[in-house]
Amino acid sequence: MAKQIYWLSDEEWARLEPLLPRGRRGARRVDDRRVISGIIHMLRCGARWRDCPAEYGPYTTVYNRFNRWSRQGIWHGMFLALTGHTGIYGSAAIDATHVKAHRSAAGAKGGTSPRP
């Protein structure tokens, strides 16, 4: 089975490139388009960052760029440019918890209690 790799289209890249931070000091940057494609791929597949395909560059770079840009709020601008919405909602609650109760937790053992 062939490995499924995601790449930003030319149109998507043209909309995102102006939003990226510039002038960062340090080591030579890994290609932004390649790293963003890797970030999107990893978010879509839900795998561990360590399992990022080598085509996107070092997994540490992919993760660090995602993490740094998350703290800086850069992703909100990107979402807005691509979808017209920032992805921020006022509030949301998702709950998938359950509690396992003992079979006698409903009070069946011993019958009903007398009411005053």
- The string of pLDDT tens digits covering residues 9-25 is 998 889 888 888 887 76
Domain-wise residue ranges, the chain: 13-18+30-83
pLDDT surpassing 60 at residue 108: no
pLDDT at 16: 86
- The string of pLDDT tens digits covering residues 51-106 is 999 999 999 999 999 999 999 888 888 888 777 776 666 666 666 676 677 766 66
Place of tokens 């993760």: 63
45, containing H or E segment: helix 32-45
pLDDT at 1: 46
Determine contact, residues 57/33, Cβ cutoff 8 Å. no
